[in-house]
Chains A and B, each alone.
Chain A
């Protein structure tokens, strides 16, 4: 992959002011730099509270950073005013971490999916409805859900509506914050495969925030590891997994139990929780 990056983030800094005496200011993102190229997935990983969602929100300019540049296709978004940003938003779409909170409770699902197109003045009443059903199909949602409101959907259905909505305006960059965490393994695979296929066909760039390191290993091209608001290590996926340099990365990786299948068929150990060790080795042995 050559040429200028799709997204080039330089020295991004996010500080929350803290209110009066109640709380101190929080430096959530501290001079973070990374890039995402067309057709590439960069995974942003790190423990809870390290600043991933804050990074996502400022890349999208949903919150203005306190410092740094966010260059999207060469244009520094931090210098643009809201009307200028509006023109670029279709190309740069979010999928939020909280599936219910990210959808307006009053909008019906078909309107939630159509909203980005409407806002951009690109809604075509003739072809629009068919486009909405096509998007529902893509994320494996039944058409009958289109007339419901978010609280009448299951968690995983809501999350897929968020993805359909992000895809509606044919973006070139997706900022995906835990996009498949509420999905069962089979539908999760289906949605990830869809994202991979779209990336391969259309050259989409993904900033992919995910704490499921096995999934990251499988789908990301590169990884940036974040701790306390800073990027402590970044590199190709294989390199990060085989020879992590930072002590923090090593600690993150050891929290994931090994992939190896046990040699015998011991019963599943009950005492020690292995929260992210996929029990694929448990399922298929008689």
Chain B
């Protein structure tokens, strides 16, 4: 069986004042039908650009190369018309900037109903019913009334859910959700993640879930891809990568969630140092300047993702540091 989405050697470059800056550098991954892939990583790692590259939504100053295959068909180089057709029917998108997909001048329900009509050809009344039901499913209280009001009359969390409803309403094969639950309280987060896992289990929908919430990853994703400075550092089944991370960055990311002993301090644990500047990446491993395990080889040769212990790890020392020692790195 071929993967629903297959990315090979994706590069995304942004043109800035200082020339071309590499933002995504040779990323490969795939998502099967009925699978949820979580994409996590540091702010600015290139997660949203990757999502936009898949959807044909990169801005004018951004260039991509590599292969993006959706259901066996190459999308790289496809026309905007072809992308539009796919985005309406088969690819659902929840952008990080949720407001960018809602028009300020139409009531939320009308926008949803229009999307339904243009794809499913339903009658006005039927499309309206589908729209109201979609709002209800994402937990908008009193949905039939709220369908009639404008986006600016929604709270932040309601707007985010309206965009999720929009992405799901035409039952796409793949949903790409970029930070879909950041504005939601725990109960609603659970409801939205439950919706996504429900679609996966019942309709075989595939999901790419870009998120900073590692608990959401643990609770709903099948596989996880961890990115750092535009590259993959570790990927594989969630119950391997999150339980026994093998790359020092992944270990640090999980360690920064550890609460400090109560009452001793209000400060939170963080990985020392800052991510590298994309326009002046260090030679070798991009994490080396912050990595407690870095050796000379790390500062010279960029590690490639290799299969290790049931997952891919891009780290020169993946094999030679015992798990117990890794766990102590950020203590």
Contacts and interface: CB of A to CB of B under 8 A. Distances in A.
Nearest to A45: B185
A155 B52 CA distance: 13
B212 to A, nearest CB: 5
B43 A53 contact: no
B43 A154 contact: yes
B204 interface: no
A3 interface: no
A115 B59 CA distance: 26
B75 to A, nearest CB: 23
Given A186-B270, A196-B267, A255-B187, A273 B194 contact: yes
A273 B254 contact: no
Interface size classification for chain B: 35 or more
B186 to A, nearest CB: 4
Given A48-B155, A184-B212, A268-B218, A283 B268 contact: no
Interface string A264-286: 01011111111111111011111
A177 B157 CA distance: 12
A182 B96 contact: yes
Contacts of B323: 286
Q: Which of A178, A214, A284 has the most CB of B within 10 A?
A: A284
Interface string A136-168: 000010101001100110111100100000000
Contacts of B251: 283-284
Contacts of B145: 23-24
B218 A190 contact: no
Given A182-B43, A277-B219, A97 B17 contact: no
Contact of B215 (A22, A213, A277): A277
A219 interface: yes
Nearest to A265: B243
Interface in A168-215: 177-178, 181-190, 192-193, 196, 211, 213-214
B324 to A, nearest CB: 5
Interface size classification for chain A: 35 or more
4 A-B pairs closest in CB distance = A283-B254, A156-B43, A48-B157, A286-B323
25 contacts: A16-B153, A23-B145, A48-B184, A48-B185, A53-B156, A98-B98, A144-B16, A144-B18, A152-B14, A155-B178, A184-B212, A184-B253, A185-B253, A188-B268, A189-B267, A211-B183, A267-B239, A268-B239, A273-B216, A277-B219, A278-B215, A282-B243, A283-B242, A283-B245, A286-B322
Interface of B: 14, 16-18, 40-44, 47-48, 59, 61, 96-100, 107, 141, 145, 148-149, 153, 155-158, 161, 178-179, 181-190, 193-194, 197, 212-220, 222, 238-239, 242-245, 250-260, 266-271, 274, 277, 279, 322-324, 326-327
Interface of A: 16, 22-24, 26, 46-49, 53, 97-98, 100-101, 140, 142, 144, 147-148, 151-152, 154-157, 160, 177-178, 181-190, 192-193, 196, 211, 213-214, 217-219, 252, 255-257, 259, 265, 267-280, 282-286
Given A185-B212, A186-B253, 20 more contacts: A22-B107, A100-B97, A144-B16, A152-B61, A155-B97, A156-B212, A177-B156, A181-B183, A183-B43, A185-B256, A187-B43, A268-B238, A272-B219, A273-B193, A274-B215, A279-B257, A280-B255, A282-B218, A283-B251, A286-B324
